[in-house]
A = this chain, B = another copy of it.
Amino acid sequence: MANPFYLRDVVSIKDFKREELEYLFEQADRFLEMGYEEKSKYGRGKLMALMFFEPSTRTKTSFEAAMLSIGGHVIGFSGARGTSMEKGESLSDTIRVMDRYADVLVIRNPMEGAARYAAELAEHPVINAGSGSEEHPTQALLDLFTIRRLKGGIDGLRVAVVGDLKYGRTVYSLLNALKLYSVEVYLVSPPQLRIREEALYDLKGMKVHLDVELDEALKLADVIYVTRIQRERFPHPEEYEKVKGSYKIDARAMRLVKEDAILLHPLPRVGEIAPEVDGFGQAKYFEQVRLGRYLRETLLALILNENP
């Protein structure tokens, strides 16, 4: 198969076919074993521009580590403060200027559609590192890669998705990625953070169980994917406090979980998974971080090089 990522934009997970993801994951398996001397030829002499209009250490650092690890260089900004945007420059000018400096652009912007817009404007490939509340495709890619590595495959798995299913942008991308596989999905959330109807519409044809009880999901799932519940999503603090505890994974909850299940979280977490859970063998969120770096290395290498 010819490299389907060469010079390609990564805006939405929905732009990719299953066999393209498989191609990426097989290459990522290779990158996990590769030494720096070999890897560094993929990024040599290339510049990646970070355009982070909202702050994020996690995603930013992961992309930086990935680009530097394949021998490339990083330029750009994080936070709109101190940028030309502050002087009143349009988003499109900022994109077009960075496009003159860099070989690949990585953009995070709170505005819905900003990454798609950037991809249309820029001559170089654009990677969406989170835009609006909808898409975070590289997170979904690394989530799937992690599942595949740790479970030996994706088809046939029961995946519980727990937490904020309404606003969490990783969830939407994850579900659309899982849709390419033959999985059964169990959605667990407070009623206030139930998945949106439009999102559900996109998942037609997928086996989705709605409004599953946490304990039930914990018992049957092969993969438990927990997301952050943000206090600011609730109009009244007391509602948040009421809900918070019932979706928390602690030692008690872990006793329900199958021995060979895996527990994932896109991080940062703020209490959804208790620290006491870190010692359980099923807790794989830090391994997910580690694998994510390799997935992003591979993705950058494939975008920048026709023949990897």
Chain B residues contacting A89 (CB-CB under 8 Å) are 267-270
Instruction: Please measure, in the bound complex, the distance between the C-alpha atom of A285 and the C-alpha atom of B90, giving whole angstroms.
Output: 14
Per-position binary interface string of chain A over residues 198-237, scored 1 when its CB falls under 8 Å from any chain B CB and 0 otherwise: 0000000000000000000000000000001000000000
Interface string of A249-276 (1 = CB under 8 A from B): 0000000000000000001111100010
* A144 interfacial contact with B, CB 8 Å: no
**What interface size band does chain A fall in?**
35 or more
Task: Judge if A79 is at the interface, Cβ distance under 8 Å.
Answer: yes
Kindly supply a per-residue 1/0 record for chain A positions 33-67, scoring 1 wherever the CB is within 8 Å of any chain B CB and 0 otherwise. 00111001000110101000001111001101100
Complex contact B58–A84 (CB within 8 A): yes
Say yes or no for A68: interface residue by CB 8 A criterion: yes
**A57-B82, A289-B100 known; A270 vs B87 contact (CB < 8 Å):** yes
In the complex, chain B residues whose CB is within 8 Å of the CB of A65: 47, 75, 101-102
A96 at interface by CB-CB < 8 Å: yes
* A73-B68, A78-B82 known; A267 vs B93 contact (CB < 8 Å): yes
- Chain B residue numbers with a CB within 8 Å of A76 are 61
CB interface residues, A 84-112, toward B, < 8 Å: 84, 86-90, 92-94, 96-98, 100-102
Whether A293 and B84, one on each chain, are in contact in the complex, defined by CB atoms closer than 8 angstroms, is: no
Q: Out of B69, B79, B269, which one reaches A47, CB within 8 Å?
A: B69
Interface contact A270-B81, CB-CB below 8 Å: no
Chain B residues with CB below 8 A from A6, complex form: none
B97 touches A58 (CB 8 A): yes
A79 closest partner in B (C-beta) = B82
Between A and B, 6 residue pairs with Cβ closer than 8 Å are A47-B69, A57-B94, A84-B267, A88-B271, A93-B269, A100-B293
